[in-house]
Amino acid sequence: MSTTYGALQSLRLTPVHDRDQEPKWWRSSVIYQVYPRSFRDLDGDGVGDLAGITAELGQLAELDIDAIWLSPFYPSPQLDGGYDVSDYCDVDPSFGTLADFDALVSAADALSIRVIIDLVPNHCSQEHVLFRQALAAGPDAPERDLFVFRDGRGASGQLPPNNWQSHFGGPAWTRVTESDGQPGQWYLHLFDSSQPDFNWDNELVRQEFERVLCFWLDRGVAGFRVDVAHALIKAEGLPDWDGRADGGSIPGYPFTDAPMFGQPQIHDIYRRWREVLAEYDGERILCAEASVDPLDRLADWVRPDQMHQTFNFSYLAAPWDAAELRRIITSSLEAFDAVGAPTTWVLSNHDVVRHPTRLALTADSPRPGDGRGPEDEQPDHVLGTRRARAASLLMLGLPGGVYLYQGEELGLPDHTTLPHDVRQDPTYHRTGGSRLGRDGCRVPLPWTSTGASLGYSATGEAWLPQPQGWAELSREAQRHDPASTLSLYRSALALRREHGLGSGSLAWAEDLTGPDCLGLVNNGVLVLLNTGSAPVELPDLPVLLRSGSPASAPHILDPEECAWLQTEDPGTTGR
């Protein structure tokens, strides 16, 4: 039995967010994350490369995106997928050369696609020259002060300086062997032991990173996604901390007092960076990857003199529940509007289980870093795909910036049966396999329906195997199929631009929101989502797009479906 809603004329609207007054590209941008290792491998060594990205930019341009964000491609031992950087101003030979990078930027520019890169300022690789020098220089040398070295506790310094835990499991400290062959000081690493944390209280560290910013800005990048942006400054005295390694207290996860995250002095660093960027033309941007709760505290990061954007992980973590989605969307818009910043929306990235898999799991949503393996509950792919398509359409109907993760436009799920012996994520190895890690969301993309690695690599080599069934999800298989997820994304992104949804406004359509249904109006487009199990009658309006089957009844919104309806003439256009 379906529910009938009242006539549209009698809709009661609750405005939450007004149209943006100052159009700047990054306020409404669609930014596509490229994870270079898994995008496209042109030289056939089994690892993606910059030339592979350049070769496929035309396919990305078809999605009508504003920018790509490249995960790290710098020289690195790759012990954390390149987030262990040994040289911030070069390209790892497995990805290509600086000339390949320049070629990528100019090819992207020709397609009006900006290039944003990933800056990893909290830590480097143990292979970085500054860390090697710090090790060699000995305990009291100034070189050590670029990192967080401390003497250990206990009679012979045999215990770590405090009780902090690494994000990837195990202690956040490693003891070094000094030049006399004796066990010596400990260094801090909030992540893997191969990733020593910088000491951002040292002015030389600040100057070095400002140099790095300029190096890439001079090469034409449009900005930076700033890795673990909330961790750079640690509380004075490095006090013990009994909360979760990721900074959240238990239970309830209020992010309030973790001594390694969200320290107020961090903002001085970003104020300086903002000034550096302001010297360049073209509105270059900073986007914080900051796991800071609650949302109004996160909004501190995006004031006019600091970062331009920050990821909204509260939205990513939202359960499949209409009321919760409404609550999180409302509080996101209110929190960011209060400081004049745009809200961003994101459903997947290289650290979390992809949303078609996440939304199909009946258990609690997995924590970042907790993948799914062959021994776990396997997701219902049909249900996951239905929900993911609906979730994507809801997200693309919201005002603000959007981040997409490579492969979500193909509806790719996680690889949930990856053999354990191919796993590379340090989380897996540092927890003795009790947390599976993030390899499942980093599997090389399928480009064609045939071939050993489905067109990912020229030789069929691939650093991780692809799961069964990905041939049908390949770009080639979806490209000309109007019912495919790729076609849905293409249409949604084109309509998003045509109707100016990114820079639009949001009002909740009260009369349309039954307990399992969400209705919002943005720039004359009515976005309706049904998270429930009963069909819902659609108002008598032209349907612009729907996430469900083309065979669905025209006036019915199916369970787990989202639709966009036209309420008035699109007054606004995008770019």
Which spans of this chain sit near ligand BGC (rule: CB under 6 A)?
Answer: 80, 83, 120, 191, 227-228, 289, 350-351
Smallest separation, CB 292 to ligand BGC (Å): 13
Nearer to ligand BGC, 35 or 447 (CB): 35
564 bridge partner residues = 527, 545
Phi/psi of residue 536, each to 5°?
-130, 140
The residue count of the chain comes to 575
> Nearer to ligand BGC by C-beta: 290 or 521?
290
The C-alpha atoms of residue 254 and residue 261 are separated, in whole angstroms, by: 12
> Identity (one letter) of the amino acid at 368?
P
Give the C-alpha separation, 50 to 451, whole Å.
21
- Nearer Cβ to ligand BGC, position 123 or 372? 123
Q: Which residues of 425-449 are buried (b: 16+ CB within 10 A; e: fewer)?
A: bbbbbbbeeebbbbbbbbbbbbbeb
Residue nearest to ligand BGC (CB): 83
Annotated active-site residue 41? The verdict is: no
Task: Please indicate whether residue 375 is annotated as part of the active site.
Answer: no
Q: Which is nearer to ligand BGC, 184 or 444 (CB)?
A: 444
- In the chain, the amino acid numbered 321 is D
As measured in angstroms, the least distance from the Cβ of 96 to ligand BGC is 21
Q: CA–CA distance from 198 to each of 4, 12, 206, 290, 292 (Å)? A: 59, 53, 10, 17, 20
- Provide the minimum distance between the beta carbon of 427 and ligand BGC in the complex, in angstroms, as a whole number: 8
CA distances, 122 to each of 269, 436, 480 (Å):
12, 24, 44
Q: Return the SS3 of 346.
A: strand
184 vs 426, beta carbon nearer ligand BGC:
426
Catalytic residue among 140, 218, 242, 279: 279
Task: Return phi, psi of residue 41, to 5°.
Answer: -105, 100
CA dihedral 401, 406, 412, 416 (to 10 degrees): -110
Longest dimension (CA), the chain: 82
Pick between residue 351 and residue 408 the one whose CB is nearest to ligand BGC. 351
Give the nearest distance from C-beta 257 to ligand BGC in angstroms.
Answer: 21
Cβ at position 413, least distance to ligand BGC in Å: 19
Q: Shortest gap between Cβ of 228 and ligand BGC (angstroms)?
A: 5
Residues with a catalytic annotation lie at 227, 279
